[in-house]
């Protein structure tokens, strides 16, 4: 006022000059309103006071805001009770309480799943931890009627809520972001940013430190933010959905006042367990006291009325979906509408490409965009899922954007894709079988690549949940021809996987379609398939009725091939009903038809039936002859391994009953391998039962009991309870005599004279694997040799009762030498307590540890026996890499170690290198000094380790390194290399990723702390969590370690083979292996024939530590950052190698070499 008066201005004149009203000027002068900085700056210009007034106004404003007192809390009301979200809220709270990470969280999922409710619940839970403010800002990312809040606007609103006057909010985005960071320093503020559409909206709002936090909700994961805690939010579990409905509807538990409580389950199912839909339906029900639960269920069941039930006047599921749909591009909208035409739960890029008439690559790009937009969910690897509620919304005529012609064309392309892809997959599985030809598709079909073994079945396995829904959709949309043909091309898959109920459901629907076509052949084919499925379920009368109807249809269609197929199926039905004479007659009729027309595939199946009938009728020579012919045909025609295994077991039974015991044993053993390869546990059980009978006939009772135990375990796995109970009640030898007597009419058991089996004595320090890989190899080899009918004894200083039972179960006899005065293993050179009259033909030793004892046993006690010596270590390479004292001479030590073992090898009849690296080394070092070249034996990848799965989400992921670990051995095992690699890998992980823990199993006594410190120094990560653990004598400990590991590493600079790495691979854990190891070299040999890429699994180790660290670090990061595909690839590698390298193959190679010595 003083300045105005001195200038001779009235309040109105001053207001005119500074563009404020007379009233505003008066309020400021009277102290009613504080002067803003803008008002003060205008007065500075009029009075010539520089910026004094503006600075005073700003200081006053800041001071006023700072002393305003209470922090700001503007969160909207959250849920009174949050149901079914404990895992999500606990994970979110745990992350926000962690002071070591950037506390930024993204909750993402489709509309209506309750993301905002979770965020508000967590904010209330943590109210005491954020005393300086808890703010909520709706970013309007998915409201088509309102422009999304920009980052500038968001920064402005947040700064104002933090107390910054509007006139002090900077104009530029960067300055606003900088001011926000200043305001949040040393403050604990929680900000909820709701309905965020893109990372660009919020990137400037992220807090600068670990005190404040941001929770973002979005339809998308917002991966562009990087380093945030991201949590997908899905629909509720059925039980939780029911509880939410009862809570909102205010229904007491088990109350039936308003209808049958069991209807709630049906209601929640028709609400798709979506929280928004549940809350709307429940509130409508609550507010209408005359409505009953049955009424709600009936309304929801009516597709036309359901949308109205999802709208309560304030909230609407339809409106939410429509708003989300409107935010998509035209191409995204079209793809989503087409995907909604797919009736099944799984959609991949090939199916989507067919729907849209584009390439799979282009379809995948659009599907990924829809994932990021929150409109699709990840179903599985390379597959997507559309929520059922969204599918129903998009398929309704009033909401669909597709013209009727567009939808019809999309469906036609989809049905063509599935029909022709199923046909290709079926044909690739066996190209020799006759199949009904298809008409060309309406448009070109792009199918997955089925060139690799089993690719077609893997595709069928992945799509099986879609099959019935597709059949129903084909039938429901008038595609009757495609419907019955699709079911026809699924028949062989259903048969191979024994999914009879699903087959019946598909074929029942297909029969209706086939009938509508008026095509008698189509009806006959479908009836025949139905009969087959019914017969497999022992519904013989129904199966025979269906077969008879099918035959009538084929007669009407003048289709003799179809008639012959029915006759063949009827013959199998008679066989299963033990009407062997009738089955034989029908089978011969079918076989003659197929044979006359050159249909070798069908003829082979009919001849198999004939041979089985002959076997049961006692015509053993004819049965054996026919089974041999069928075996040749089955192999030549590439029948499934499970079918061949079944045939081999029948042939083995015929040979056994003819007294050809050893031939039968070989058949049963081959059947086991075939069944295992074909993943057919019941056929494997049958083969083991036959092997038990053969072993009993040869007098090998221990082996017989072991095989019988294996059969029981496999029958249990296959669910064949009757067979389990039968075998448990019988003794193998008694079963043999009873069955031969019953089936052949003989009154006395068969007595068979067979040559004595090879006797082998293995010398080792233990039966179990307390001391590492050498013991593992010895045990697995003994088991495999015993399975090859070798009489195996293993000499150990001692054994527990559990070890003794374990050995006996696999046909190995543990024997022990008299104790010695020195260490237990010093007694191994003494002859063990073998049964009377038993003298070994072969004695086996391993390395320097038991090789010398085996040598003295041969020279002093078993002079006629052959000495077999296994090399496990490349001494000179190991010694050169080890750490040595200054006075040590590694060259001399390496040479002495080799000379010691060379002396044993020189006296051995046969030297064996385990794997390619040891074999090449021996071949080169021993050339010219032995009469025979050393042989190579590759360990098997089919050991019985429990198969690991992807570990559940955790705050820790473990890297496992196993071996004899010490500072001196660190370079040998590559501990320093993996430490540096891990340091590099950690730079590629975000602050919210689980902590990485390096587990060192096998650390020497008192070495743990020093080795852990060295690892941290090598990694240049002082905070790296290193867990040193001692070597455990318990094999279960290694199993547990492997199951807890996210990745196993074997970065050895010198490793003869690396059985620990093999054990990790056979467990199914992602494993990184040094290319210098024997295991790495073996895998490298198979590289071309494996479907798994090995470049990031078999990794070179060179003398360039920097290159090695980066190479191994990148490989580690690839596994740690993408565990799901890494475990999938590990499973594939395990499955493929378990067929390429088995212990049976290893044993066979050793036996062939031994026989060549005779």
How confident is the prediction for the chain on average, in pLDDT? 86
Question: Looking at the structure, do residues 1105 and 1005 belong to the same domain, yes or no?
Answer: yes
Range picked from 71-75, 508-512, 573-577 for highest mean pLDDT: 508-512
Instruction: Report, as an integer, the average pLDDT of 272-286.
Output: 91
Task: Say what the pLDDT of residue 887 is.
Answer: 55
Kindly tell me the number of DSSP H helices and DSSP E strands found in the chain: 50, 22
Q: Which residues pair with 868 in a beta bridge?
A: 844, 910
Where are the alpha helices (H) located in 698-792, listed in sequence order?
701-718, 721-728, 732-744, 773-787
Whichever domain contains 360, its CATH number is 1.10.10.10
Question: Looking at the structure, do residues 999 and 1073 belong to the same domain, yes or no?
Answer: yes
Q: Please report whether residue 130 resides in a domain.
A: yes
447-488 residue pLDDT tens: 998 887 778 888 999 999 999 999 999 999 999 999 999 999
Per mean pLDDT, which range of 214-218, 256-260, 1012-1016, 1034-1038 is the poorest? 1034-1038
910-962 residue pLDDT tens: 999 999 998 888 888 777 666 678 899 999 998 755 678 888 888 889 999 98
Q: Please report whether residue 507 resides in a domain.
A: no
Strand pairing class (377-380; 383-385): antiparallel
Whichever domain contains 658, its CATH number is 1.25.40.10
- What's the sign of the alpha-carbon dihedral 957, 960, 966, 971? negative
Question: Looking at the structure, do residues 224 and 355 belong to the same domain, yes or no?
Answer: no
- Return the DSSP state at 75: P
Looking at 401, 423, 445, the residue that finishes a domain is: 401
Tokens 């700056």 belong to 41
Q: Please report whether residue 965 resides in a domain.
A: yes
Confidence band of 733 (pLDDT split at 50, 70, 90)? very low
Question: Looking at the structure, do residues 306 and 270 belong to the same domain, yes or no?
Answer: yes
Q: Please report whether residue 1156 resides in a domain.
A: no
Task: Say what the pLDDT of residue 593 is.
Answer: 93
Question: Looking at the structure, do residues 223 and 269 belong to the same domain, yes or no?
Answer: no
Question: Looking at the structure, do residues 218 and 131 belong to the same domain, yes or no?
Answer: yes
Answer yes or no: is pLDDT of 754 > 50: no
- Return the DSSP state at 206: S
Check: CB of residue 416 under 8 Å from CB of residue 354.
yes
Between CA 336 and CA 399 the distance in angstroms is 12
Answer yes or no: is pLDDT of 543 > 90: yes
Q: Please report whether residue 355 resides in a domain.
A: yes
Confidence band of 203 (pLDDT split at 50, 70, 90)? confident
Q: pLDDT higher for 206 or 360?
A: 360
Domain count, the chain: 7
Question: Looking at the structure, do residues 222 and 364 belong to the same domain, yes or no?
Answer: no
Between CA 550 and CA 638 the distance in angstroms is 29
Answer yes or no: is pLDDT of 881 > 70: no
Question: Looking at the structure, do residues 807 and 911 belong to the same domain, yes or no?
Answer: yes
Task: Say what the pLDDT of residue 366 is.
Answer: 94
Strand pairing class (791-795; 1025-1030): unpaired
Looking at 46, 66, 86, the residue that finishes a domain is: 66
Tokens describing residue 370: 């829809």
Answer yes or no: is pLDDT of 1048 > 50: yes
Q: Is 1089 helix (H, G, I), strand (E, B) or coil?
A: helix
Question: Looking at the structure, do residues 378 and 393 belong to the same domain, yes or no?
Answer: yes
Instruction: Report, as an integer, the average pLDDT of 1080-1090.
Output: 90
Task: Say what the pLDDT of residue 68 is.
Answer: 47
Answer yes or no: is pLDDT of 677 > 90: no
Q: Which residues pair with 998 in a beta bridge?
A: 959, 1026
964-998 residue pLDDT tens: 788 888 888 899 999 999 988 888 887 778 889 99
Check: CB of residue 105 under 8 Å from CB of residue 228.
yes
DSSP 122-147: HHHHTGGG-TTEEEEEE--TT-TTSP
Q: Please report whether residue 39 resides in a domain.
A: yes
Confidence band of 889 (pLDDT split at 50, 70, 90)? low
Instruction: Report, as an integer, the average pLDDT of 1073-1087.
Output: 91
Instruction: Report, as an integer, the average pLDDT of 346-363.
Output: 94
Task: Say what the pLDDT of residue 1112 is.
Answer: 92
Answer yes or no: is pLDDT of 753 > 50: no
Answer yes or no: is pLDDT of 357 > 90: yes
Whichever domain contains 35, its CATH number is 1.10.260
Confidence band of 744 (pLDDT split at 50, 70, 90)? very low
Question: Looking at the structure, do residues 992 and 1118 belong to the same domain, yes or no?
Answer: yes
Calculate the alpha carbon distances from 954 to 260, 502, 988, 1127 in Å: 42, 37, 19, 16
Q: Which residues pair with 1049 in a beta bridge?
A: 1072
Percent of the chain with pLDDT over 90: 38
Confidence band of 739 (pLDDT split at 50, 70, 90)? very low
Task: Say what the pLDDT of residue 507 is.
Answer: 96
Whichever domain contains 224, its CATH number is 3.40.50.300
Per mean pLDDT, which range of 20-24, 331-335, 978-982 is the poorest? 20-24
Give me the domain span that covers residue 387. Answer: 328-401
Q: Which residues pair with 1072 in a beta bridge?
A: 1049
Q: pLDDT higher for 912 or 1005?
A: 912
Q: Please report whether residue 211 resides in a domain.
A: yes
Check: CB of residue 680 under 8 Å from CB of residue 643.
no
Question: Looking at the structure, do residues 217 and 132 belong to the same domain, yes or no?
Answer: yes
Question: Looking at the structure, do residues 827 and 811 belong to the same domain, yes or no?
Answer: yes
98-141 residue pLDDT tens: 766 667 899 998 888 999 999 999 999 998 888 888 999 999 88
Looking at 315, 349, 369, the residue that finishes a domain is: 315
Angle at 541 between CA 535 and CA 543, to 5 degrees: 35
Q: Which residues contact 490 (CB under 8 A, 6 or more apart)?
A: 422, 460, 467, 503, 506
Q: Please report whether residue 550 resides in a domain.
A: no
């Amino acid at each position: 006022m003083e300045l105005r008066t001195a200038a001779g201005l009235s309040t109105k004149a001053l207001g005119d000059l500074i563009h404020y009203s007379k009233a505003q000027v008066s309020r400021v002068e009277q102290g009613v309103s504080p002067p803003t900085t803008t008002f003060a700056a205008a007065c500075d210009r009029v009075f010539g006071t520089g910026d004094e007034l503006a600075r005073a106004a700003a200081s006053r404003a800041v001071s006023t805001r700072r002393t305003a007192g209470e922090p700001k809390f503007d969160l909207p009301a959250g849920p009174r009770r949050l149901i079914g979200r404990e895992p999500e809220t606990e994970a979110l709270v745990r992350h926000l309480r962690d002071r070591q990470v950037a506390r930024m969280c993204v909750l993402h999922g489709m509309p209506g799943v309750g993301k905002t409710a979770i965020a508000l619940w967590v904010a209330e839970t943590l109210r005491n931890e954020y005393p300086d403010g808890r703010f909520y800002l709706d970013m309007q990312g998915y409201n088509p009627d309102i422009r999304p809040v920009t980052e500038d606007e968001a920064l402005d609103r947040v700064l104002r809520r933090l107390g910054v006057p509007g006139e002090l909010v900077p104009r530029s985005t960067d300055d606003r972001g900088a001011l926000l960071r200043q305001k949040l320093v040393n403050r604990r503020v929680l900000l909820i940013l709701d309905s965020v559409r893109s990372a660009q909206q919020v990137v400037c709002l992220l807090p600068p430190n670990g005190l404040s936090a941001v929770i973002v909700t979005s339809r998308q994961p917002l991966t562009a933010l990087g380093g945030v805690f991201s949590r997908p939010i899905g629909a509720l579990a059925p039980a939780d959905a029911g509880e939410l409905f009862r809570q909102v509807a205010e229904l007491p538990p088990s109350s039936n006042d308003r209808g049958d409580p069991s209807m709630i389950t049906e209601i929640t199912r028709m609400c798709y367990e979506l929280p928004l839909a549940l809350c709307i339906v429940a509130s409508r029900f609550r507010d209408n006291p005359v409505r009953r639960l049955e009424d709600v269920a009936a309304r929801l069941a009516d597709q036309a009325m359901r949308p109205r039930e999802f709208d309560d006047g304030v909230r609407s599921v339809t409106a939410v979906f429509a708003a989300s749909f409107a935010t998509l591009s035209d191409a995204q909208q079209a793809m989503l509408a087409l995907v909604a035409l797919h009736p099944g739960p799984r959609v991949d890029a090939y199916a989507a490409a067919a729907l849209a008439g584009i390439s799979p690559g282009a379809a995948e790009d659009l599907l990924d965009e829809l994932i990021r937009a929150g409109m699709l969910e990840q179903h599985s690897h390379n597959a997507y899922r559309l929520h059922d509620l969204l599918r129903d919304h998009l398929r309704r005529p009033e909401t669909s954007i597709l013209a009727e012609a567009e939808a019809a064309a999309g469906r036609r392309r989809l049905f063509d894709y599935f029909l022709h892809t199923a046909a290709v997959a079926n044909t690739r599985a066996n190209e020799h079988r006759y199949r009904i030809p298809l008409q060309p598709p309406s448009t070109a079909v792009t199918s997955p690549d089925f060139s690799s073994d089993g690719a077609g079945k893997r595709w069928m396995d992945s799509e099986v949940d879609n099959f019935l829904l597709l059949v129903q959709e084909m039938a429901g949309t008038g595609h009757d021809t495609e419907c019955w043909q699709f079911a026809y091309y699924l028949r062989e898959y259903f048969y191979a996987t024994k999914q009879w109920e699903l087959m019946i459901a598909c074929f029942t629907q297909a029969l209706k379609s086939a009938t509508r076509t008026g095509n008698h052949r189509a009806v006959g084919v479908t009836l025949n398939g139905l009969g087959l499925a019914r017969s497999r379920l022992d519904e013989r009368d129904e199966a025979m009725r269906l077969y008879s109807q099918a035959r009538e249809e084929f007669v009407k269609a003048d289709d003799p091939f179809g008639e012959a197929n029915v006759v063949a199926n009827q013959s199998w039905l008679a066989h299963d009903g033990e009407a062997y004479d009738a089955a034989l007659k029908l089978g011969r009729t079918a076989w003659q038809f197929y044979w006359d027309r050159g249909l070798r595939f069908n003829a082979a199946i009919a001849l198999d039936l004939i041979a089985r009938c002959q076997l049961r009728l006692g015509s053993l020579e004819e049965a054996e002859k026919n089974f041999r012919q069928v075996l040749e045909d089955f192999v030549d025609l590439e029948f499934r391994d499970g079918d061949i295994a079944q045939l081999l077991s029948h042939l083995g039974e015929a040979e056994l009953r003819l007294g050809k015991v050893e031939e039968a044993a070989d058949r049963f053993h081959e059947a086991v391998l075939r069944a295992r390869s074909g993943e057919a546990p019941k056929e494997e059980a049958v083969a083991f039962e036959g092997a038990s009978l053969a072993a009993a006939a040869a007098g090998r009772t221990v082996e017989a009991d072991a095989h019988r135990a294996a059969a029981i375990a496999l029958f249990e796995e296959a669910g064949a309870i009757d067979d389990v109970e039968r075998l448990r009640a019988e003794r193998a030898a008694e079963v043999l005599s009873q069955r031969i007597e019953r089936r052949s009419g003989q009154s006395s058991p068969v007595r068979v004279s067979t040559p004595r089996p090879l006797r082998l004595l293995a010398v080792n320090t233990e039966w179990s694997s307390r001391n590492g890989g050498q013991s593992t190899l010895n045990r697995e080899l003994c088991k495999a040799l015993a399975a090859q009918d070798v009489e195996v004894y293993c000499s150990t200083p001692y054994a527990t009762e559990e070890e003794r039972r374990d050995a006996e179960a696999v046909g190995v006899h543990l024997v022990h030498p008299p104790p010695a005065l020195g260490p237990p293993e010093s007694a191994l050179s003494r002859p063990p307590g073998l049964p009377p009259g038993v003298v070994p033909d072969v004695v086996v030793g391993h390395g320097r540890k038991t090789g010398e004892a085996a040598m003295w046993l041969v020279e002093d006690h078993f002079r006629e026996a052959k000495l077999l010596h296994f090399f496990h270590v490349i001494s000179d390479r190991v010694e050169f890499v080890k750490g040595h004292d200054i006075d040590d001479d590694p060259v001399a030590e390496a040479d002495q170690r080799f000379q010691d073992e060379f002396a044993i090898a020189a006296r051995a009849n046969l030297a064996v290198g385990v794997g390619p690296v040891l074999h090449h080394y021996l071949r080169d070092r021993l050339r010219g000094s032995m009469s025979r070249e050393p042989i190579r034996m590759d360990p098997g990848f089919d050991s019985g380790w429990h198969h690991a799965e992807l570990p559940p989400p955790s705050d820790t992921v473990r890297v496992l390194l196993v071996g004899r670990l010490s500072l001196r051995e660190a370079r040998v095992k590559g501990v320093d290399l993996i430490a540096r690699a891990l340091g590099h890998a950690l730079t590629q992980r975000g602050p919210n990723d689980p902590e990485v823990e390096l587990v060192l199993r096998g650390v020497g006594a008192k070495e743990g702390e020093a080795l852990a410190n060295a690892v941290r120094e090598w990694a240049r990560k002082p905070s790296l969590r290193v867990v040193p653990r001692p070597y455990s004598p318990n094999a279960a400990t290694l199993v547990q370690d492997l199951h807890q590991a996210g990745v196993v590493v074997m970065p050895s600079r010198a490793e003869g083979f690396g059985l620990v790495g093999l054990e990790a691979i056979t467990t199914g854990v992602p494993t990184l292996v040094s290319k210098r190891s024997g295991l790495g070299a073996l895998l490298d040999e198979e590289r071309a024939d494996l479907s798994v890429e090995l470049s990031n699994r078999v990794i070179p180790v060179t003398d360039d530590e920097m290159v090695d660290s980066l190479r191994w670090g990148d490989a580690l990061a690839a596994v740690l950052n993408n565990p799901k595909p890494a475990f999938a690839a590990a499973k594939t590698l395990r499955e493929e190698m378990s067929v390429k390298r088995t212990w049976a193959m290893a044993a066979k190679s050793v036996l062939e070499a031994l026989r060549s010595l005779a």
